Amino acid sequence: MTAPASATVSDNPLLRDGAGPSGLPDFAAVKPDHFPPAFDAALKAHRAEIAAIAGQPAAPDFVNTVDALEQSGAALTRIANVFFVLAGADTSDALQAVERDVAPLLSRHDSEIFLDAALFGRIDALWRRHRAGELTGEQALSAEQARVLERYHVRFMRAGAALDRDSKARLASIGERLASLGTAFGQNVLADESDYTLVLDDDDLAGLPDFVRAAAKAAAEERGHAGKHAVTLLRSSIEPFLTFSARRDLREKAHRAWLARGEGGGKTDNRAIIAEMVALRAERARLMGYDNFAAFRLDDQMARTPQAARDLLDQVWGQAKRRAGTEREELQAMIRAEGGNFTLAPWDWRYYAEKVRKARFDLDEGQIKPYLQLDKMIEMAFEAARRLFGLSFTPADIPLYHPDARAWRVTGRDGREIGLFIGDYFARPSKHSGAWMTSFRDQERLAGTVTPIIVNVMNFAKPRPGEPALLSFDDATTLFHEFGHGLHGLLSDVTYPLLAGTNVATDFVELPSQLYEHWLTVPDLLGAYAHHYKTGEPMPRALIDKVLAAKTFNQGCATIEYTSSALVDLDLHGRPAEAGLDVSAFERDSLARIGMPDDIVMRHRLPHFQHLFSGDGYAAGYYSYMWSEVLDADAFAAFTEAGDPFDPATAKRLHDFIYSAGNRRDPAEAYKAFRGRMPSVDALLKKRGLIETEAA
C-alpha cells in the first residue's frame, strides 16, 4: 500500500506509543487514510521481529522461539483489530477500498511467516525434542506451554511449511487470492442489502402490528423516504414483515429479493467468486495431501472427518423432515380454513406459522415483544453472568467508534478488573448484516496482565427517538448467543495469546454461545427482566409458560433451514477442484439430492453465505453449530440434574473447563472435564422437540 500524502507516520493516531486509558484508540482522530501507513509500518516491524527469531544463532528453545513468536507483531495485531471492527460494524467507501488492498497483504504476510523454512525448522526441532522427552530440567514445558508448541506445529504444518518450494509459492498465491475474493464477496452482499428498499404505502401495511410499523417507519426515514414505511433486507426488518404482512404479493416480492442477494447478475453477483474460491480451496487441499477441502478442514476439528459431520446432520435431517411434514399440514389447513386456494410457499411459512402458534398456544409475537426491551435483556444477560460467574458490569463513559455503541467495565467477585465489554446493537447501512463477537484486544499474561476488550455486534431495528428498542424472542436469543461468545473472550484466563478466548476449534467455539441461550428461558430470571415497556409490569407467569411451551414450535422448519445449509456446504467443499462450477445449478442439485422441501429455503443460500465465503472461518464448517448444539443441550442438562440453573459447583466447572480455559486442552478433553463424558445426539433432538422427551 502507498500512504496518502495527508497521512504521515508522525501524526498517525494508530502509530502513537501506547493507547488511551481505555486501551482503545482515539476514534475521533482515526481516518481511513491513517490505515495504509499504519499497516505498512506495522508489517515492516513484524517482518523484522520474525527475521530476528528465525535467524538467531542460538539453538531453539521455548523462550527464544515460541515466547518470542507469541510476543511479536503486537502493533500489527492492534491495528488490524481496530480496522476489522470498523470494516464490519461502521464501514464506508474509503474503508472498503483499504480493505480490498489490505486483505491480500495480510494473507501474504501470514504466508511469509508460516512458510518460512528457518522459522519452521526451529519450531519443528523443538516439537521433536518435546515429543522425544528431551525437554527436561529448566527446559521442561508446562502443560500450557506444551499445548502452545503443539498448536504452533500444527499451524505451520497445515500452512504447508513442510512442502517443497513450488508448492509453498502456490499456497501463498492461493491465500492472497482467497483473501481478495472473500473481501469482495462480503462487500457485494453489503451492497445488495444496502441498495434494496421496499417502500410501503398505507395500503401495504395490512397485518403489521404497531412495533413492525414503527420499525418500518424508522427504516424509511433512514433510507430517505420520510413519511413512508419501508422493508430492507436486514434480517431484523424482513423477518417481521414476512411474519405479519397480510399482503401475500408483497411477502413474495420481499422474500425473492432476500433470496437473490449476491445473485443479481450485475457487478455484485457472487457466483463467479464462489466458483473460484471453491476451486482454489480444493487445490489447496490437494497440495496438502487431502482429497478435498472438507477433509483438510475437518482434520483439525472435533469432528475429524466430513463423514462424522454428515452422520450427525443426517440423523437430524430425517427427524426434521418428519416434523416439518406435520407442520406443513397444519399450515396448509390454516390456509384452507381462511378460504385460501393456493399451496403453501416459502414466503407463506412464517406468516401462517405465526397464525398456528397463536391458535395453538394463544400466543403471538405481538404479545411477547412489548416485554422484551433491549436494555432489560442486556441487564438480564449481565445478571445471569453475575449469578454464574460473579461478574459485575458498570457503564463506562468512553469515546467509541459510533454513537450507538456503548461500553461496560467488567469486574470479578473480588473487584478485580476482568475487561471491557462493548455492545453495538442497532442496524445501519454502514454495518454488515448478521451478529458476531469480535475484539479490540484479547486476554493474555505473557506481556503482563492484559485484559480483553470484547465487542458484540448485532443488527436490531433501531427505534425512533424517545422509544425503547423492542426485541423479538429470536432477537433476544441472538443477544444471549453473542454474549455467550463475549463471555468466552472476557473470562479467558491463559498466559499465551494463541490459546486465548475463542481461539478454539470451530465446532467447539459455538458451545459457550449456544449454551448461554438457555439462561434466557429460566422462568424466574425472565420474569424479573421482561417488563412491559409502557406499564412496567413484569411478563405474567402465564405468558412465560406459553413462551416456554412454544419453544419447540416450528422446529422442523427451522432445523431444515439450518441443516440444508450445512449439508450443501459439505457437498460443495467435498468436491475435487473443478473449473466452471455452475453455483446455482450445484445448489439446486444438492438440495434435490437430500430431498429439500419446496416450501422451505436454506437459511443461507450460497450467493450470500457469508459464513463460507467472507473468509474461511466456517468453510466446510457450518455443521459446527449443530455439533456444538449436541454439546450445549447436554451441558445445560448438568444444571437441570443439579436442580438449579445457577448451581455453584456446576457453574465453577463450566467456568474452569469451558469459558476460561481457551484452547489449553483438546476440546473433547475439555468437555469431558466439565461433564464427565461426551454427549449423544438425543440431547439435541429432545431440545428441538424432534423426538419425545421421557417425561412425555
Q: Are 156 and 120 within 8 A, CB to CB?
A: yes
Grid coordinates representing 633? 443441550
For cell 463460507, the residue is: 612
**Distances, alpha carbon 236 to alpha carbons 428, 463, 484, in Å:** 11, 12, 20
AA letter at 489: G
- Report the distance separating Cα 604 and Cα 582, nearest Å: 17
| Residue 528 CA neighbour count, 13 Å, CB half | 14
Helix (H) or strand (E) holding 54: helix 35-55
Q: Where are the beta strands (DSSP E) in 499-565?
A: none
In 10 A of CB 155, how many CB atoms?
16
Grid coordinates representing 282? 480444493
Could you write out the three-class secondary structure of 553-570?
Answer: CCHHHHHHHHHHHHHHHH
For cell 428498542, the residue is: 469
- Report the distance separating Cα 39 and Cα 45, nearest Å: 10
For cell 467456568, the residue is: 655
**Distances, alpha carbon 376 to alpha carbons 223, 348, 406, 486, in Å:** 28, 32, 15, 18
The 8-class DSSP code of residue 373 comes to B
Give catalytic residues, as residue numbers: 482
Grid coordinates representing 548? 416456554
Q: Are 241 and 212 within 8 A, CB to CB?
A: yes
- Report the distance separating Cα 399 and Cα 378, nearest Å: 20
- Report the distance separating Cα 438 and Cα 436, nearest Å: 7
| Residue 82 CA neighbour count, 13 Å, CB half | 26
